[in-house]
Amino acid sequence: MKRSLAIAGALLATGATAHAQSSVTLYGVADAGIEYLNHVPNAAKQSSSLVRMTSGNIAGSRWGLRGVEDLGGGLKGVFLLEGGMVLDSGMAAQGGRLFGRRAYVGLDTPYGQVTMGRHHNLTFDLIIGFDPMYFAPKYSSYSHDTWLAGRTDNAVKYTGKFGGLTASALYSFGVDSTIANGSEVPGNSRVGREMSAGFSYDMGKFRVAGVFDQLNGTSAATAGRTERRYVASAAADFGPVSAYLGYRRLVSQILTSMTRTDLFWTGATYNFNQAFALTGAVYKTNDRTSAKDPMSLVMSADYRFSKRTDAYLTASYTLNKGGSALGANGYDGSVIAGANQFGAVIGLRHNF
Protein backbone atom coordinates (compact mmCIF):
# COMPACT_ATOMS: atom_id res chain seq x y z
CA MET A 1 0.00 0.00 0.00
CA LYS A 2 1.33 3.41 -0.91
CA ARG A 3 1.88 5.64 2.09
CA SER A 4 1.71 9.38 1.46
CA LEU A 5 2.82 11.92 4.00
CA ALA A 6 1.11 15.24 3.21
CA ILE A 7 2.72 17.91 5.37
CA ALA A 8 1.93 21.61 5.31
CA GLY A 9 4.83 23.74 4.14
CA ALA A 10 4.82 25.74 7.37
CA LEU A 11 5.75 22.57 9.22
CA LEU A 12 8.66 21.86 6.88
CA ALA A 13 10.64 25.04 7.29
CA THR A 14 10.40 28.29 9.22
CA GLY A 15 9.20 31.11 7.03
CA ALA A 16 7.72 28.87 4.32
CA THR A 17 4.97 30.54 2.32
CA ALA A 18 1.36 29.59 2.89
CA HIS A 19 0.96 27.91 -0.51
CA ALA A 20 3.93 25.54 -0.09
CA GLN A 21 2.90 21.93 0.49
CA SER A 22 5.00 18.77 0.34
CA SER A 23 4.33 15.07 -0.01
CA VAL A 24 6.60 12.04 0.17
CA THR A 25 5.40 8.66 -1.11
CA LEU A 26 6.87 5.26 -0.30
CA TYR A 27 6.26 2.72 -3.07
CA GLY A 28 7.66 -0.51 -4.45
CA VAL A 29 7.32 -3.82 -6.26
CA ALA A 30 8.06 -7.30 -4.87
CA ASP A 31 8.35 -9.95 -7.62
CA ALA A 32 9.68 -13.49 -7.13
CA GLY A 33 9.22 -16.86 -8.79
CA ILE A 34 10.62 -20.27 -9.74
CA GLU A 35 12.35 -20.62 -13.12
CA TYR A 36 13.22 -23.66 -15.25
CA LEU A 37 15.83 -23.55 -18.05
CA ASN A 38 17.26 -26.28 -20.30
CA HIS A 39 20.53 -26.48 -22.24
CA VAL A 40 22.40 -24.62 -19.52
CA PRO A 41 26.17 -25.34 -19.50
CA ASN A 42 27.35 -27.03 -16.29
CA ALA A 43 30.86 -26.95 -14.80
CA ALA A 44 32.02 -29.42 -17.47
CA LYS A 45 30.48 -27.24 -20.22
CA GLN A 46 27.89 -29.94 -20.89
CA SER A 47 24.17 -29.36 -21.45
CA SER A 48 22.08 -29.56 -18.29
CA SER A 49 18.84 -28.20 -16.84
CA LEU A 50 18.43 -25.65 -14.07
CA VAL A 51 15.66 -24.94 -11.56
CA ARG A 52 16.10 -21.85 -9.42
CA MET A 53 14.34 -19.10 -7.51
CA THR A 54 14.52 -15.72 -9.21
CA SER A 55 13.60 -12.14 -8.34
CA GLY A 56 12.25 -9.49 -10.67
CA ASN A 57 10.77 -11.62 -13.43
CA ILE A 58 8.03 -9.54 -15.05
CA ALA A 59 8.96 -6.40 -13.10
CA GLY A 60 12.14 -5.51 -11.26
CA SER A 61 11.77 -5.76 -7.48
CA ARG A 62 12.31 -2.32 -5.98
CA TRP A 63 11.46 0.23 -3.34
CA GLY A 64 11.50 3.97 -3.61
CA LEU A 65 10.68 7.41 -2.27
CA ARG A 66 9.01 10.03 -4.45
CA GLY A 67 8.66 13.61 -3.25
CA VAL A 68 7.09 16.82 -4.50
CA GLU A 69 6.79 20.36 -3.11
CA ASP A 70 4.38 22.93 -4.53
CA LEU A 71 6.37 26.15 -4.98
CA GLY A 72 3.47 28.14 -6.41
CA GLY A 73 2.84 29.54 -9.86
CA GLY A 74 2.77 26.09 -11.41
CA LEU A 75 6.33 25.35 -10.21
CA LYS A 76 7.14 22.23 -8.17
CA GLY A 77 10.29 20.80 -6.68
CA VAL A 78 10.59 17.03 -7.19
CA PHE A 79 12.89 14.19 -6.20
CA LEU A 80 12.98 10.42 -6.59
CA LEU A 81 15.18 7.78 -4.93
CA GLU A 82 14.67 4.18 -6.13
CA GLY A 83 16.67 1.08 -5.26
CA GLY A 84 16.50 -2.42 -6.70
CA MET A 85 16.39 -5.50 -4.50
CA VAL A 86 16.89 -9.23 -4.98
CA LEU A 87 14.15 -11.02 -3.05
CA ASP A 88 15.69 -14.50 -3.05
CA SER A 89 18.84 -13.26 -1.27
CA GLY A 90 17.82 -9.94 0.27
CA MET A 91 20.71 -8.19 -1.46
CA ALA A 92 20.65 -4.86 -3.26
CA ALA A 93 20.47 -5.06 -7.05
CA GLN A 94 22.36 -2.95 -9.62
CA GLY A 95 25.74 -3.98 -8.23
CA GLY A 96 24.88 -3.07 -4.65
CA ARG A 97 24.02 0.59 -5.29
CA LEU A 98 21.71 2.02 -2.63
CA PHE A 99 19.55 3.75 -5.24
CA GLY A 100 20.67 1.86 -8.32
CA ARG A 101 17.49 2.23 -10.34
CA ARG A 102 17.00 5.99 -10.18
CA ALA A 103 18.10 8.97 -8.10
CA TYR A 104 17.36 12.54 -9.14
CA VAL A 105 16.16 16.00 -8.15
CA GLY A 106 14.54 18.61 -10.33
CA LEU A 107 11.85 21.15 -11.12
CA ASP A 108 8.44 20.55 -12.66
CA THR A 109 7.05 23.51 -14.62
CA PRO A 110 4.04 24.14 -16.89
CA TYR A 111 6.48 23.70 -19.81
CA GLY A 112 7.97 20.39 -18.71
CA GLN A 113 10.14 18.74 -16.10
CA VAL A 114 13.93 19.04 -15.78
CA THR A 115 15.79 16.61 -13.50
CA MET A 116 19.43 15.84 -12.68
CA GLY A 117 20.94 12.56 -11.47
CA ARG A 118 20.69 8.88 -12.38
CA HIS A 119 17.85 8.17 -14.82
CA HIS A 120 16.21 5.56 -16.99
CA ASN A 121 17.26 6.20 -20.57
CA LEU A 122 14.72 7.48 -23.08
CA THR A 123 14.15 4.12 -24.76
CA PHE A 124 12.81 2.88 -21.42
CA ASP A 125 10.68 5.96 -20.80
CA LEU A 126 9.13 6.16 -24.26
CA ILE A 127 9.21 2.61 -25.68
CA ILE A 128 8.32 0.41 -22.67
CA GLY A 129 4.60 0.63 -23.44
CA PHE A 130 5.23 -0.64 -26.98
CA ASP A 131 6.82 -3.96 -25.99
CA PRO A 132 4.17 -6.67 -25.44
CA MET A 133 6.13 -7.77 -22.35
CA TYR A 134 6.85 -4.21 -21.18
CA PHE A 135 10.64 -4.74 -21.06
CA ALA A 136 10.20 -7.52 -18.48
CA PRO A 137 13.59 -8.50 -16.99
CA LYS A 138 12.88 -12.02 -18.26
CA TYR A 139 11.70 -12.99 -21.73
CA SER A 140 11.23 -9.67 -23.57
CA SER A 141 13.11 -7.38 -25.95
CA TYR A 142 15.33 -6.68 -22.93
CA SER A 143 16.84 -10.16 -23.44
CA HIS A 144 17.97 -9.12 -26.93
CA ASP A 145 19.23 -5.64 -25.98
CA THR A 146 19.56 -4.67 -22.31
CA TRP A 147 20.21 -1.01 -23.16
CA LEU A 148 16.57 -0.66 -24.21
CA ALA A 149 15.90 -0.54 -20.46
CA GLY A 150 19.24 1.02 -19.48
CA ARG A 151 20.12 3.59 -16.85
CA THR A 152 22.41 6.58 -17.10
CA ASP A 153 24.49 8.35 -14.45
CA ASN A 154 25.32 12.08 -14.40
CA ALA A 155 22.37 12.92 -16.62
CA VAL A 156 20.15 15.95 -17.22
CA LYS A 157 16.72 15.01 -18.56
CA TYR A 158 13.87 17.09 -19.94
CA THR A 159 10.35 15.74 -20.38
CA GLY A 160 7.46 17.83 -21.66
CA LYS A 161 3.84 16.77 -22.17
CA PHE A 162 1.65 18.72 -24.57
CA GLY A 163 -1.70 17.04 -25.01
CA GLY A 164 -1.07 13.63 -26.53
CA LEU A 165 2.56 14.48 -27.34
CA THR A 166 5.44 13.69 -24.99
CA ALA A 167 8.88 15.04 -25.94
CA SER A 168 12.10 14.13 -24.12
CA ALA A 169 15.82 14.86 -24.29
CA LEU A 170 18.74 13.58 -22.21
CA TYR A 171 22.42 14.48 -21.89
CA SER A 172 24.85 12.51 -19.72
CA PHE A 173 28.33 13.71 -18.75
CA GLY A 174 29.32 10.07 -18.08
CA VAL A 175 27.02 7.06 -18.29
CA ASP A 176 28.55 4.86 -15.57
CA SER A 177 30.28 6.13 -12.43
CA THR A 178 31.26 2.61 -11.33
CA ILE A 179 33.76 1.89 -14.13
CA ALA A 180 37.09 3.47 -15.06
CA ASN A 181 36.59 6.35 -17.50
CA GLY A 182 32.84 5.90 -17.28
CA SER A 183 32.22 9.26 -15.71
CA GLU A 184 33.41 12.82 -16.34
CA VAL A 185 37.05 12.44 -17.36
CA PRO A 186 39.10 15.67 -17.12
CA GLY A 187 40.19 16.95 -20.52
CA ASN A 188 37.95 14.63 -22.54
CA SER A 189 34.24 15.44 -22.35
CA ARG A 190 33.35 12.76 -24.90
CA VAL A 191 34.35 9.80 -22.71
CA GLY A 192 31.18 8.00 -21.60
CA ARG A 193 28.93 10.73 -23.00
CA GLU A 194 25.31 10.01 -23.93
CA MET A 195 22.92 12.15 -25.98
CA SER A 196 19.34 11.13 -26.64
CA ALA A 197 16.05 12.54 -27.89
CA GLY A 198 12.64 11.04 -28.47
CA PHE A 199 8.88 11.43 -28.53
CA SER A 200 5.65 9.53 -28.12
CA TYR A 201 2.21 10.49 -29.40
CA ASP A 202 -1.02 9.10 -27.99
CA MET A 203 -4.09 9.38 -30.23
CA GLY A 204 -6.32 7.32 -27.97
CA LYS A 205 -6.59 3.88 -29.53
CA PHE A 206 -3.38 4.33 -31.55
CA ARG A 207 0.08 5.31 -30.29
CA VAL A 208 3.51 5.83 -31.84
CA ALA A 209 6.99 6.57 -30.46
CA GLY A 210 10.55 7.08 -31.63
CA VAL A 211 13.96 7.49 -29.94
CA PHE A 212 17.50 8.29 -31.05
CA ASP A 213 20.27 7.42 -28.58
CA GLN A 214 24.05 7.86 -28.93
CA LEU A 215 26.76 6.62 -26.56
CA ASN A 216 30.48 7.39 -26.72
CA GLY A 217 33.13 4.86 -25.69
CA THR A 218 34.30 4.77 -22.08
CA SER A 219 38.05 4.97 -22.69
CA ALA A 220 40.42 7.55 -24.17
CA ALA A 221 40.95 5.26 -27.16
CA THR A 222 37.22 4.84 -27.87
CA ALA A 223 35.86 8.22 -26.78
CA GLY A 224 35.56 9.32 -30.39
CA ARG A 225 33.62 6.18 -31.36
CA THR A 226 29.88 5.91 -30.98
CA GLU A 227 27.11 3.40 -30.43
CA ARG A 228 23.81 4.56 -31.91
CA ARG A 229 20.29 3.21 -31.57
CA TYR A 230 17.31 4.18 -33.67
CA VAL A 231 13.99 2.93 -32.27
CA ALA A 232 10.47 3.21 -33.71
CA SER A 233 7.30 1.59 -32.42
CA ALA A 234 3.52 1.60 -32.66
CA ALA A 235 0.62 0.15 -30.67
CA ALA A 236 -3.14 -0.03 -31.11
CA ASP A 237 -6.11 -1.05 -28.97
CA PHE A 238 -9.05 -2.99 -30.39
CA GLY A 239 -11.46 -3.56 -27.54
CA PRO A 240 -9.92 -6.25 -25.30
CA VAL A 241 -6.92 -6.67 -27.64
CA SER A 242 -3.76 -4.54 -27.67
CA ALA A 243 -1.31 -5.04 -30.56
CA TYR A 244 2.36 -3.99 -30.62
CA LEU A 245 5.06 -3.48 -33.23
CA GLY A 246 8.65 -2.32 -32.74
CA TYR A 247 12.01 -1.91 -34.48
CA ARG A 248 15.50 -1.03 -33.22
CA ARG A 249 18.64 -0.52 -35.31
CA LEU A 250 22.01 -0.66 -33.56
CA VAL A 251 25.18 0.68 -35.19
CA SER A 252 28.26 0.45 -32.97
CA GLN A 253 31.84 1.46 -33.77
CA ILE A 254 33.12 1.18 -30.20
CA LEU A 255 34.55 -2.31 -30.63
CA THR A 256 37.42 -3.06 -33.01
CA SER A 257 34.92 -4.14 -35.67
CA MET A 258 31.65 -2.55 -36.74
CA THR A 259 28.46 -3.99 -35.22
CA ARG A 260 25.14 -3.57 -37.01
CA THR A 261 22.01 -5.37 -35.86
CA ASP A 262 18.28 -5.00 -36.42
CA LEU A 263 15.79 -6.07 -33.75
CA PHE A 264 12.13 -6.55 -34.66
CA TRP A 265 9.27 -7.41 -32.35
CA THR A 266 5.53 -7.84 -32.49
CA GLY A 267 2.85 -9.25 -30.24
CA ALA A 268 -0.57 -8.84 -28.69
CA THR A 269 -2.35 -8.99 -25.34
CA TYR A 270 -5.90 -10.27 -24.93
CA ASN A 271 -7.73 -9.21 -21.77
CA PHE A 272 -10.35 -11.89 -21.14
CA ASN A 273 -11.71 -9.87 -18.22
CA GLN A 274 -10.42 -7.51 -15.54
CA ALA A 275 -8.51 -10.34 -13.86
CA PHE A 276 -6.98 -12.49 -16.61
CA ALA A 277 -4.79 -11.56 -19.60
CA LEU A 278 -2.77 -13.57 -22.11
CA THR A 279 0.19 -12.13 -24.05
CA GLY A 280 2.11 -13.53 -27.01
CA ALA A 281 5.25 -11.99 -28.53
CA VAL A 282 8.01 -12.62 -31.07
CA TYR A 283 11.47 -10.99 -30.93
CA LYS A 284 13.94 -11.39 -33.81
CA THR A 285 17.51 -10.08 -34.09
CA ASN A 286 19.24 -9.88 -37.48
CA ASP A 287 23.01 -9.43 -37.20
CA ARG A 288 24.25 -7.74 -40.38
CA THR A 289 27.89 -8.54 -39.55
CA SER A 290 27.49 -12.28 -38.85
CA ALA A 291 25.11 -15.21 -39.30
CA LYS A 292 24.02 -15.09 -35.65
CA ASP A 293 20.30 -14.29 -35.88
CA PRO A 294 18.42 -15.47 -32.76
CA MET A 295 14.65 -15.38 -32.28
CA SER A 296 12.52 -15.62 -29.12
CA LEU A 297 8.91 -16.82 -28.88
CA VAL A 298 7.15 -15.78 -25.66
CA MET A 299 3.79 -16.55 -24.05
CA SER A 300 2.67 -15.08 -20.74
CA ALA A 301 -0.48 -15.51 -18.63
CA ASP A 302 -1.31 -13.08 -15.84
CA TYR A 303 -4.02 -13.38 -13.19
CA ARG A 304 -4.79 -10.37 -10.99
CA PHE A 305 -6.08 -11.18 -7.51
CA SER A 306 -6.44 -7.45 -6.85
CA LYS A 307 -5.15 -4.12 -8.15
CA ARG A 308 -1.86 -4.75 -6.36
CA THR A 309 -1.27 -8.52 -6.40
CA ASP A 310 -1.04 -10.87 -9.39
CA ALA A 311 0.30 -14.29 -10.37
CA TYR A 312 2.00 -15.04 -13.68
CA LEU A 313 3.31 -17.88 -15.81
CA THR A 314 5.69 -16.96 -18.64
CA ALA A 315 7.42 -19.27 -21.11
CA SER A 316 10.05 -18.55 -23.76
CA TYR A 317 11.61 -20.59 -26.53
CA THR A 318 14.79 -19.14 -28.04
CA LEU A 319 16.08 -20.34 -31.41
CA ASN A 320 19.82 -19.76 -31.88
CA LYS A 321 20.79 -19.55 -35.53
CA GLY A 322 24.37 -19.48 -36.82
CA GLY A 323 25.97 -20.29 -33.48
CA SER A 324 24.21 -17.53 -31.58
CA ALA A 325 24.26 -17.77 -27.77
CA LEU A 326 21.13 -15.89 -26.75
CA GLY A 327 19.54 -17.40 -23.68
CA ALA A 328 15.98 -16.89 -22.50
CA ASN A 329 17.40 -14.21 -20.20
CA GLY A 330 19.84 -12.65 -22.67
CA TYR A 331 23.53 -13.04 -23.48
CA ASP A 332 24.40 -14.13 -19.95
CA GLY A 333 26.21 -17.41 -20.62
CA SER A 334 23.20 -19.47 -19.56
CA VAL A 335 22.89 -21.42 -22.83
CA ILE A 336 25.28 -23.51 -24.91
CA ALA A 337 26.13 -21.62 -28.09
CA GLY A 338 24.00 -22.78 -31.00
CA ALA A 339 21.51 -24.64 -28.78
CA ASN A 340 17.89 -23.63 -28.54
CA GLN A 341 16.62 -22.92 -25.05
CA PHE A 342 13.27 -23.31 -23.31
CA GLY A 343 12.59 -21.29 -20.20
CA ALA A 344 9.55 -20.92 -17.96
CA VAL A 345 8.93 -18.96 -14.78
CA ILE A 346 5.95 -18.95 -12.43
CA GLY A 347 5.67 -16.34 -9.73
CA LEU A 348 3.90 -13.65 -7.74
CA ARG A 349 4.10 -9.86 -7.86
CA HIS A 350 2.87 -7.35 -5.30
CA ASN A 351 2.83 -3.58 -5.79
CA PHE A 352 2.82 -1.34 -2.75
3-state secondary structure of 146: helix
Q: What is the pLDDT along the chain (352 residues), one digit of tens a residue?
A: 444 443 333 333 334 443 568 999 999 999 999 999 999 999 988 999 999 999 999 999 999 999 999 999 999 999 999 999 999 999 999 999 999 999 999 999 999 999 999 999 999 999 999 999 999 999 999 999 999 999 999 999 999 999 999 999 999 999 998 877 666 788 888 999 999 999 999 999 999 999 999 999 988 888 999 999 999 999 999 999 999 999 999 999 998 788 999 999 999 999 999 999 999 999 999 999 999 999 999 999 999 999 999 999 999 999 999 999 999 999 999 999 999 999 999 999 999 9
3-state secondary structure of 121: coil
The closest alpha carbon to 313, from 273, 278, 347, belongs to 347
Break the chain into its structural domains and give their ranges. 99-351
CA-atom Rg of the chain in angstroms:
21
pLDDT of residue 9: 38
CB 131 within 8 A of CB 170: no
Parallel, antiparallel, or unpaired: how do β-strands 62-72 and 206-216 relate?
Answer: unpaired
CB 347 within 8 A of CB 33: yes
Q: How does DSSP assign 45-80, residue by residue?
A: S-EEEEEEEEE-SSS--EEEEEEEEEEETTEEEEEE
CB under 8 Å to 271, separation ≥6 — which residues? 240, 241, 242, 277
Please give the span between the terminal C-alpha atoms of the chain, in angstroms, as a whole number.
4
Parallel, antiparallel, or unpaired: how do β-strands 341-351 and 21-41 relate?
Answer: antiparallel
CA 216-133-167 angle, to 5 degrees, is: 50
DSSP assignment letter at 141? H
How would you label 34-44 residue by residue, b for 16+ Cβ within 10 Å and e otherwise?
Answer: ebbbbbbbeee
- Please state whether the predicted TM-score (pTM) of the whole model is above 0.95: no
Per CATH, domain 99-351 is 3.30.70.20: no
Amino acid at position 99, single letter = F
The closest alpha carbon to 194, from 131, 261, 134, 119, belongs to 119
Which residue blocks in the chain are alpha helix, DSSP H? 9-12, 122-127, 141-144
pLDDT of residue 181: 64
Model confidence pLDDT, tens digit, residues 226-275: 999 999 999 999 999 999 999 999 999 998 788 999 999 999 999 999 99
How would you label 71-98 residue by residue, b for 16+ Cβ within 10 Å and e otherwise?
Answer: beeeebebbbbbbbbbbeeeeebbeebe
Burial class, 116, CB count within 10 angstroms (exposed 0-12 / middle 13-18 / buried 19+): middle
Tell me the CA distances in angstroms from 256 to 192, 213, 228, 286, 291, one per residue in order: 17, 21, 16, 20, 18
Model confidence pLDDT, tens digit, residues 152-197: 999 999 999 999 999 999 999 999 988 776 667 888 889 999 999 9
